[in-house]
Structure 1
Amino acid sequence: MSPSTESAAKSSAEPAAPQDAPTSGAYAIVEASGQQFWLQPNRYYDLDRLGIDVDGTLTIDNVLLVNDGKTTTLGQPYVKGASVELKVMAHRRGPKIIIYKMRPKKKTRRKNGHRQELTRVMVESISVGGKALA
C-alpha cells in the first residue's frame, strides 16, 4: 500500500461525529410548560405562551441538569441554586394543524384546525449558585 492510501484507509476507519450533536459548551435541561427543554446560551426557543410582556425577563428555577463544558451536575429532581435567565423576544403562533374526523358509511365528517400560541425566548444566562456559566 502506498502512504497516501494508508492515510485514506485510517481516516475512513475513524467514526465520524454526528451532524446533529450539540456544540460543546454550557447547556441546561429545564422543565417549563410541562415539557423538558435543552437550553444553550444565546439561542432562542419557542415555549408555550407565557404571560410576560415582550422584552420582559423570566427566571426558570426548575433546572434538571447543568453542564458547564467540563462537569455535569444532575439534580434530584432539581439542581439546587441553579437558574436560567430568559428574555421574551416575541409572542407567535405555531403552524396550523388540521384535524379531520370521519365515520365511514355514516355521512359524518368533522374538520377542525388548531394553532398553538407560543412565546419565543432568548437564553440570556445559565447560572449555578449565583455564578453565571455563560
Structure 2
Amino acid sequence: MVYAVVELGGNQLIIEPGKFYDVNYMHASPGDIINLNRVLLVAQSNNFSIGRPCLNNVIVKARVLRHLKGKKVTIFKVKPKKNSRVKIGHRQKLTRIFVEKIL
C-alpha cells in the first residue's frame, strides 16, 4: 500500500493512488493533469520517506475531475440588547481531483 501526505491549499491531505478527493478551489480546467510537488511524506509498505519540509524527488500526479460547491454553512450573529441580528450563508468552492500515481 502506497500513500503520501501532501500540502495543498494550506491543508495537509493523506492521499492514495486511485482515489478522489475534494480540495479547496484550484484554477485548473476539468481534465487537466496537475503535479502536486509539496509532498511531506511517502510510505510504501514499511519504507517511509520524510521530507524536511518537502521531498524534492517525489511528485504526485492528479487529474481535475470537476468543480463543485460544498455544503451550506449558516452563520447567525446576535448582539444582545441591541436588536441586531445578521444571518449569512456560505458555500465553499471545491475542486474534485483524482490521484493517478505517486512518482
TM superposition score category, shorter chain reference: over 0.9
**Divergent runs of 4+, >6 A:** none
Could you say which structure has the higher helix fraction? 1
Runs of at least 5 residues in structure 1 that lack an aligned partner in the other structure: 1-24, 128-134
Query: Secondary structure of 2:59's match?
Result: strand
- Paired residue for 2:26? 50
Report the TM-score when normalising by structure 1.
0.75
Aligned position for 1:15:
none
Q: Which has the larger radius of gyration?
A: 1
Q: How many residues align?
A: 103
Q: Distance in 2 between matches of 1:51 and 1:76?
A: 27
Q: Are 2:92 and 1:119 aligned?
A: no
Q: Distance in 2 between matches of 1:106 and 1:62?
A: 48
Which residue number corresponds to residue 132 of structure 1?
A: none
Q: Distance in 1 between matches of 2:54 and 2:99?
A: 19
Deviations along 1:40-97, one digit per CA (max 9) or x if unpaired, are 0100001111111101111011000001123010001111210100101110000000
CA-atom RMSD, angstroms? 0.6
Bigger relative contact order (CA 8 A; separation at least 6): 2
Unaligned runs of 5+ in 2: none
User: Identity of paired residues, percent?
Assistant: 36
Structure 1: distance between partners of 2:56 and 2:93 = 31
Q: 1:98 aligns with which of 74, 77, 83?
A: 74
2:72 matched to 1:107?
Answer: no
